Structures are given as structure tokens and as C-alpha cells.
Amino acid sequence: MKASAFVYPWDVDGDPAAPDRIAALGVEQVTLAAAYHSTRALTPRHPRHRVVTAEHAAVLYPPDDRWRGRALRPHPAGDWAPGDAYGTAAAALARAGLEVHSWVVLAHNSRLGAEHPDTSVVNAYGDRYPWAPCIAQPATRAYLVDLAAEAAVRPGAHGTELESLGWYGLQHLHAHDKTGGVALGEAGTYLMALCFCPACRTGYGEHGADPDELAAAVRDALEPLWRGTARDEGWAGVEKLLGPARTAATRAWRDGTARTLQEAAVRAVRAAAPDGFQVLLHADPVTHHVGANPGVDPAHVLSVADGVVVPCAGGPGPLAPFAAQGREGAVLAANLGVVSGMGGSPGTLGVDMARARGLGATEIRLYHAGLASDDDLDAVREALAAR
């Protein structure tokens, strides 16, 4: 089973030992960030630094002329990834014998929300989520499609993995995040993710739901949660709280919006890429889920992309709906955490890989070679050697 490790350019650039160290893990591929959100990351083995602070969402290469004169455009990184940081790292990793695929984060961008507030998701209370661009807005969609094509098809890349290509919600580890005081549960997570920007209000109306009445119903539905009296009834709780008709209207609008964006982005990548270029989406098989692994319809997404990268930190169960499609040649990559300090389980990687294979995984992804301790990487090396 082919294995790939996630890597940032700053894990490699300036550290001559990094490419061979990553290759020695036993992986055949690296998934290298080309466009990424703001973050603060440890670099435990780098000879020049131990902490990298990426101050804003950025492309980790020089953007081209397609953005000239456009209000919505990507920003190059600052001194945490200067110049063509992606290209420099990709070349070094390729010399170590690793196949390089790009890693592109799309609808997760707090700088975009800060500079262009009207692009953000707006919840039923009128609160903006500046880290979450609304994927229904035409200008935002055009930006995301062009960014996908540019960031994915970097020189030397054999494929790409598109993250956050769908709806984003409240879940975001924002600076000094203080949103965990109330457990949202399945229903609350969905209701707090519903967008009421002008584009989405129009969209709900087109599906038979008055947007003012819908927003009021969402606020009413959330009241028991704020009081601490709500029971988490899963998706059934959403339908119970909003009513079947309103719930169906939100799903029709949001599911259709996400699907057409995914189709457009994959088309744009394929048009820019050479033959044989692999396009995968980070995806969750529960269509109403939001976040870095947005919910998709398994049959639809596997008809559009070459496969999916599926979050399996809580077990390999999410692979099953994709495997059930029986799509020959589709890549089903199980994303496994191997950073013990971030909840990963490098010590059980062998068992986790076997379980994932049993549920249909064709490949694995390891999060994250640059963030893991030496002990974590030793466990990864041992597990991959025993494949």
C-alpha cells in the first residue's frame, strides 16, 4: 500500500538532511504544501529554527500574472517561506527519490476574510467567519477555481490533493480559540455552519425557504444548546429542530453549491495539468459535514476526481462509503495521524494500516513528517518496513 507523508516547504528548505530523512521513513511520496492557511508549526529537527509562524494564508511560490488587477488574489508568503519555497523543497525531495504531489488548501483563508469581509460565511446571528470564504459567491468561486489550478500544477508535481474544497464552518483552531465551552454536537455544528450572506439567502429562497424565517428558525433551534439543555440527536436533530422542508432546502442549496465548485476546480486543474496528473480531494462521506475534509457524496466525488483522502483519526470507518462505490482504479487514501503530541498513534500504525486496508484503503497518508518527534518517526519507519 503506497504511503505518502505530509510536509511543509519550511521542513525541508534550509535542512539538507530532511529529504533523505523523509525518504528513509519508507514512504514513496510526499504531499507538499503549495497553498496553506496561517499556522504556527514546530520544526523539531531543523538546523536554523524550531518554530515557524505563518502569519497569513499564502501561496508558497510566486503567483503568476493571472491575478493582475483582480481584487481577490492569493498572497505570497513572508519570510517563513520566501520566494519559490515550494519549488526548492520539491526539487530536493525529488532528488531523494520521492514522488512529489502538491497540497492545496482552498476555502480556509483568514486573510481573505480580513481584506474582503463580504466574502465570508455569515451565520444566522449575523456573525462573520473570516477564516471561511463562502463558496456560493461567484467571485469567491472564481478565485478558488483559479487558485486550485495554479497551486496544484507546480513544476515537477505528479498530482495534487485539494483540501477544504467545500463548505467551512465554525470549527477552526483560530488564534487563542475559545469556542469549546459549549459542545455543539452534530446538529449544532451544522446549524452554526449555515451561511446567510446575500448569495446564500438568495439560494435558500430559490429552494423554497424564506431566508429571514430560516435564520430565525436556526436561532430558535440553537437556544437549547446555549442553555445546556439540548441532547445531541445527530442529523435527526437538525430535521427535528428546523423541520423537514427547511432542512431539505438548506441541503439542496449547499450540496449543489459544493458539488459544482468541486467539478469546476477539478476541471481547471486537469486543463492546466499534464496527462496522468492525479487529482484527489480531502473528503468526508457525510455530506453535511464541514471543514478541511468537507462532506461529499461518495458516488459523485469519485466520478469527478481520481480519488479521496479520508480522515481516519477516529478509525477507518469513513472509508467504507467510498469503497462501496466499487469504482475501479479510484484512490482511497486513509489519512492517519502519526504525531503523538497531536493525538496521533504512531505506535499502532501497523494495525491502523491493516484495518484501513480491510475497509478498502488503497493508499495511506501520514500526518505529518515535519511535526513529528524522532520517536514518532522511528515508529513510522518500523511500521512501514513491516508492510
Residue 368 preceded by cis peptide, ω within 30: yes
Let me know if residue 234 belongs to a domain.
no
Q: Does the structure show a pLDDT above 90 at 290?
A: yes
Q: Domain of residue 151: give its range.
A: 2-122+129-178+254-385
The structure's pTM equals 0.96
When divided into structural domains, the chain yields a total of 1
Q: Does the structure show a pLDDT above 90 at 128?
A: yes
Residue with cell 429542530: 241
Tell me the β-bridge partners of 102: 32, 160
Tell me the β-bridge partners of 41: 52
Are 160 and 277 within 8 A, CB to CB?
Answer: yes
> Pick from 126, 105, 278, 275: which is nearest to 195 by CA?
126
R_g (Cα) of the chain, nearest Å: 21
Let me know if residue 36 belongs to a domain.
yes
What is the predicted pLDDT for the residue at 317? 97
CB atoms within 10 A of CB 254: 27
**Range 246-272 average pLDDT:** 98
Let me know if residue 361 belongs to a domain.
yes
42's grid cell: 514546530
- The CATH number assigned to the domain holding 291 equals 3.20.20.80
**How far, rounded to the nearest angstrom, does the alpha carbon of residue 350 sit from its chain's CA centroid?**
25
pLDDT in tens, 156-188: 999 999 999 999 999 876 666 766 777 788 999
CB atoms within 10 A of CB 69: 6
Q: Does the structure show a pLDDT above 70 at 282?
A: yes
**Range 139-147 average pLDDT:** 98
Let me know if residue 62 belongs to a domain.
yes
What is the predicted pLDDT for the residue at 234? 87
Q: Which amino acid is at 379?
A: A
End-to-end C-alpha distance for the chain, whole angstroms: 8
Let me know if residue 70 belongs to a domain.
yes
**Range 359-387 average pLDDT:** 97
pLDDT in tens, 291-322: 999 999 999 999 999 999 999 999 999 999 99
pLDDT in tens, 18-61: 999 999 999 999 999 999 999 999 999 999 999 999 999 999 99
Are 147 and 214 within 8 A, CB to CB?
Answer: no
Cα–Cα distance for residue pair 1/350, rounded to 1 Å: 12
What is the predicted pLDDT for the residue at 178? 66
Mean pLDDT of the chain: 96
What is the predicted pLDDT for the residue at 259? 98
- 5-44 per-residue burial string, b: 16 or more CB within 10 A, e: under 16: bbbbbbbbbbbeebbebbbebbbebbbbbbbbbbeebbbe
pLDDT in tens, 191-206: 999 999 999 999 999 9
What is the predicted pLDDT for the residue at 339? 97
pLDDT in tens, 325-350: 999 999 999 999 999 999 999 999 99
What is the predicted pLDDT for the residue at 175? 66
Q: Does the structure show a pLDDT above 90 at 354?
A: yes
pLDDT in tens, 78-117: 999 999 999 999 999 999 999 999 999 999 999 999 999 9
Residue with cell 469567491: 140
> Pick from 104, 142, 154: which is nearest to 277 by CA?
154
